[in-house]
Structure 1
């Protein structure tokens, strides 16, 4: 699928995925992830009808203004100042003023993947041809992606309507050569990056500042990344459940297809099928208990909620991604200017509030399984705290005792973050923005929950592999199906068997990084669901 891209600022031997075409087609979450996480470049569509639509929108807006029409944010003030007329002598200067006074973001800066996702989302929205922007603006947004000229975007400062104004002002500022960007591995002034590329910073035409900033691109870009990571975590939670079943000498019969056909939620059926596939070939003889505890037996029911939620979340995220979500909209065919509220991010806010709850439940599930594994009252004959120490040194070794405590802390913090952000609407901007979505805060919360849950998954993976090895040591007849054996080998390459106590921080960090990147699962589950 990959192809060589002839970009002058890439190494000769660097290969990137196939370019993502923007314009005249719907983008998928996977397209955004390919750009943000896998190095894909973007290419503007070459369909003449699409390009003509972009040009007609910008041309109509020019004619409409020349005829003396009043257009919000073009020859009026912004927000509550929409009643203020801007004289024609200042119309050209107005877009730059908008980008400048919104330069008040705070908090940590978005990482490179998040910035790329944001720019891709904004570019795709403007490419619908309903924003009145020139083709050159789309080309420059594509340049930000393809040359990795990445604005430093503070995460805090958006209420999610009227769009992600403050964080998107940093994208707009980069285009006009202001503020700092990351470029070729260093921070520099945006103007210097354009000069290095042989270009001059763009001068924004009327409405282009508003078109760049008045939309849902930040929350939508972050939602695409959150969706991908949550999908990976659901699959990983199923795999860890299967391995924990082996380690606890549990029952594969809990995942029989008949059970899940009898309660036909599609997601829990998928989760159970994943676990069945991982346990295929393991004999189902009642071991220590007729029924395993809920965190094992009911795992498909927990994971299935996330799987089912992700189906409608994909719909809503991709609808937002493939929408014109600024204001006003410019209809190039009907030659109308339509003032509305498409910048409102309610669907993303609700999806992210829901996703963080579903993901935090995965953290809770994995943490409960880990608690069973380390406790010799419940782990069916494994050593206390999963220590691998010899009998002579067992008294001073504590194995995964502290790892379980840390996992519990991360889980508690994830659960704390599930308070819905969307219900905390604030009235802002002189009560013009009096009902807002809080979608960007919800998306940021969701990413934090994902980070914490990936840490829980990393702890669970190390501990469960340790437990399975201990089970094999005590009973060489234990059957470990091939997918789980390969998984154990992969985890073992990151973290060796713990015989004597050692600090596991670096191994946990390495494991968490692999889980977040998705490369770990890509190597380890055969069904590619």
Structure 2
């Protein structure tokens, strides 16, 4: 009412912010914004990712600083509750000014335009909304901008990747404990006093969990006396230090994503109590992009140490009496030889993904938007990297379980035996060469389920 220009309400966007928009065109301005910015390409995002970004955008609007009506939040939630998911292409955002293209594809659906998926079938969204009794929206001032200017695609995929990474970390400690016992390793390096001498919280937590996972192992007791080895290799001995570093990295990522998920991330922001509308930069996803780059580095290192444990399980020069490649008849059979090759391929992919996206800024919008976060690229990398980690860990679990079988009649700890029994529910011991791909997919799903996260306690030995 003051007559002062308000970005995206009485003006154009980006480099066109100096173009004044007359009152009679301001509704068209918002619709044009959504249609023009729905310019993503590529395969559609996973349904879970689309649901995450829709929910997070609704939550951001509900913060009350976006200058829009409550009905926008209600419509987003109505689509979610009806299982209607706009088709959102995976490419189209540089993470500043927010995730414009992905969010525009969602906003387009609220106008009754574009394709959407419901029950695995893609259809025009207008028909799906009509069938569900959801009315098409006509946008008011700033509402198109409020819907598309935010970091919710980056953050949504990031949150899903973080949750999967946290589950995978817990599975990594189960796999590591099982591998250590199968290799006749010692849990002595996990003693509490060693961790207290270097008291990083992640290291202490991982060591405590490994102690709990290995407590009461008959296999350990069988070689406690008279073992000529002075120390285990780093991939066994340094699990608390390596896993703990990943645990701390993921803790940092969690803190960043929790804050971002509950923030107002568009521009300009409206502060009703002060009676001001202020342009700012909360749409810039640099802190999220950097956090997700860190997530990739952390999970790549978890995969690296896991692959080294697989090598020790399969190498007859290192495996403390286990048959070569854990085959029942080495030579005639190859056992898990090529499973390790697959792990190395996955690890190579993860190392490529570890290159940071957050340093790859490219200027856009006629040099107005001259530093960007590449947040969505970081999120895509994170999702792919966690998928690779889960598969590497599946290979270790398969090999470690076979190693435990070869230590019979000795039993491992209660927690390791529980994990072994769970694996054997779905994947039988390898008594002759067979195609391993289906078994690895089964174990990957076991890791994703989170079942292994509950195993083990922090009981001290």
Query: For the superposition of Structure 1 and Structure 2, which TM-score range results when normalised by the shorter chain?
Result: over 0.9
Partner of 2:142: 207
Q: Secondary structure at the residue paired with 2:411?
A: coil
Cα 1:94–1:440, aligned 2, differ >3 Å: closer, same or farther? same
The structure 2 residue matched to 1:463, chosen from 396, 399, 409, is 399
2:43 and 2:446 map into 1 onto residues whose CA distance is: 22
Determine if the alignment matches structure 1 residue 243 to structure 2 residue 243: no
Determine if the alignment matches structure 1 residue 362 to structure 2 residue 298: no
Determine if the alignment matches structure 1 residue 426 to structure 2 residue 362: yes
2:426 and 2:39 map into 1 onto residues whose CA distance is: 42
Partner of 1:485: 417
1:344 and 1:70 map into 2 onto residues whose CA distance is: 23
Q: Deviations over 1:298-319 (max 9, x none)?
A: 0110000111122222221111
- Deviation of 1:96 after TM superposition, in Å, equals 1.2
Q: Secondary structure at the residue paired with 1:349?
A: helix
The structure 1 residue matched to 2:372, chosen from 430, 433, 436, is 436
Cα 1:288–1:451, aligned 2, differ >3 Å: closer, same or farther? farther
Determine if the alignment matches structure 1 residue 520 to structure 2 residue 451: yes
- Deviation of 1:395 after TM superposition, in Å, equals 2.7
- Deviation of 1:349 after TM superposition, in Å, equals 0.7
2:127 and 2:457 map into 1 onto residues whose CA distance is: 47
Q: Secondary structure at the residue paired with 2:331?
A: helix
- In structure 1, runs of 5+ residues without a counterpart are 1-63
- Does the 8 A contact of 1:349 with 1:443 survive in 2? yes
1:526 and 1:507 map into 2 onto residues whose CA distance is: 28
RMSD: 1.4
- Equivalences for residues 349-428 of structure 1 within 5 A: 349-389=289-329, 394-428=330-364
Determine if the alignment matches structure 1 residue 270 to structure 2 residue 270: no
- Deviation of 1:524 after TM superposition, in Å, equals 4.1
Partner of 2:426: 494
The structure 2 residue matched to 1:305, chosen from 219, 241, 245, is 245
1:288 and 1:73 map into 2 onto residues whose CA distance is: 73
- Equivalences for residues 121-140 of structure 1 within 5 A: 121-140=56-75
Q: Greater shift after overlay, 285-294 or 250-259?
A: 285-294
2:179 and 2:228 map into 1 onto residues whose CA distance is: 14
Q: Deviations over 1:198-223 (max 9, x none)?
A: 12211111111111111111111111
Partner of 2:128: 193
Partner of 1:451: 387
2:49 and 2:231 map into 1 onto residues whose CA distance is: 44
1:368 and 1:506 map into 2 onto residues whose CA distance is: 23
Report how many aligned residue pairs link the two structures.
453
Partner of 1:344: 284
Q: Deviations over 1:346-392 (max 9, x none)?
A: 11011001111011000001000001100001000000000124xxx
2:249 and 2:150 map into 1 onto residues whose CA distance is: 25
1:204 and 1:112 map into 2 onto residues whose CA distance is: 25
2:122 and 2:43 map into 1 onto residues whose CA distance is: 15
Partner of 2:187: 252
- Deviation of 1:522 after TM superposition, in Å, equals 4.9
Q: Secondary structure at the residue paired with 1:396?
A: coil
- Deviation of 1:289 after TM superposition, in Å, equals 2.0
Determine if the alignment matches structure 1 residue 509 to structure 2 residue 445: no
- Equivalences for residues 98-247 of structure 1 within 5 A: 98-247=33-182
- Does the 8 A contact of 1:164 with 1:217 survive in 2? yes
- Deviation of 1:435 after TM superposition, in Å, equals 0.5
2:180 and 2:52 map into 1 onto residues whose CA distance is: 38
- Does the 8 A contact of 2:171 with 2:453 survive in 1? no
Q: What is the TM-score with the length of structure 2 in the denominator?
A: 0.95
1:510 and 1:188 map into 2 onto residues whose CA distance is: 32
1:231 and 1:113 map into 2 onto residues whose CA distance is: 17
Q: Secondary structure at the residue paired with 2:406?
A: helix
Determine if the alignment matches structure 1 residue 321 to structure 2 residue 321: no
- Deviation of 1:119 after TM superposition, in Å, equals 1.0
- Does the 8 A contact of 1:417 with 1:449 survive in 2? yes
- Deviation of 1:152 after TM superposition, in Å, equals 1.3
Q: Secondary structure at the residue paired with 2:401?
A: helix
Q: Secondary structure at the residue paired with 2:116?
A: strand
Runs of 4+ in 1 over 3 A off after TM superposition: 522-527
2:8 and 2:445 map into 1 onto residues whose CA distance is: 43
Q: Deviations over 1:221-257 (max 9, x none)?
A: 1111111111112111111111111100111212111
Q: Deviations over 1:173-198 (max 9, x none)?
A: 11111111111331111101110111
